[in-house]
Amino acid sequence: MTAPLSPVRIVDHPLVRHHLTELRNEETVPVAFRRHVRQLASLLAYEATQDLAERPVEINTPLTGMAGSVLSSTVGLVPILRAGLGMVEPVLDLLPDAQVWHLGLYRDEETARPVRYYSKLPPGQPVDVALILDPMLATGGSANAALATLKAWGVPQVKLLAIIAAQAGIDAVIAAHPETAVHVCAVDAELNDRKFIVPGLGDAGDRTFNTLG
């Protein structure tokens, strides 16, 4: 009997390790930090979209006719504000026809629980596949809230793309949404007492938007 595939897919590649090291480095300035986020988001999206549905088409090249294929799934990109915004553009470069829907979630510093402050998903007509974009999967609270929101919208397939995850966050997502594929570049073992991933990279939103103060 074949064992079921793990819902966690770690993108193991020299380019990932290179960009991830630069991203973690505290000396990396915001403009470079954003560039490395874009590169890693592209690599994550490439891996996460390998099973998108296709349909055959007939086209003409400058030399002859041939059979090709195009995507047939409607895809939605769902960045979790605000850090997830840095992952949208590179994924849109790969999927220019994707819809983009925003979810605003922040972590209450006292309880470490997610608080939703923005959501504008349209009633009915959900996309076929949704990709949740968030650089960090720490406790799993924001990810689970986003997954629950998209399930309520009626999306049949949802995937989570995170650059760095804590094992605790992965465990929380799998426990609540075992059918969800989680694509990450690295899994770190610990959360500190402030629920930040260790070694992690600090606050992804502040480093992306240069608001460290």
CA distance 128 to 76: 8
Please give the helix or strand (H or E) that residue 147 lies within, else none. Answer: helix 141-153
Does 118 have pLDDT greater than 90? Answer: no
Q: What is the span of the domain harbouring residue 191?
A: 8-51+73-209
CATH of the domain at 101: 3.40.50.2020
Q: Which residues are catalytic?
A: 107, 111, 203, 206
Q: What's the chain's average pLDDT?
A: 91
Residue 61, in any domain of the structure: no
CA distance 179 to 175: 10
Q: What is the pLDDT of residues 7-43, one digit of tens each?
A: 899 999 999 999 999 999 999 999 999 999 999 999 9
Residue 99, in any domain of the structure: yes
Does 109 have pLDDT greater than 70? Answer: no
Q: What pLDDT sits at residue 121?
A: 82
Is the pLDDT higher at 142 or at 119?
142
Asked if the peptide bond before residue 194 counts as cis, ω within 30 degrees of 0, the response is: no
Residue 148, in any domain of the structure: yes
Number of structural domains, the chain? 1
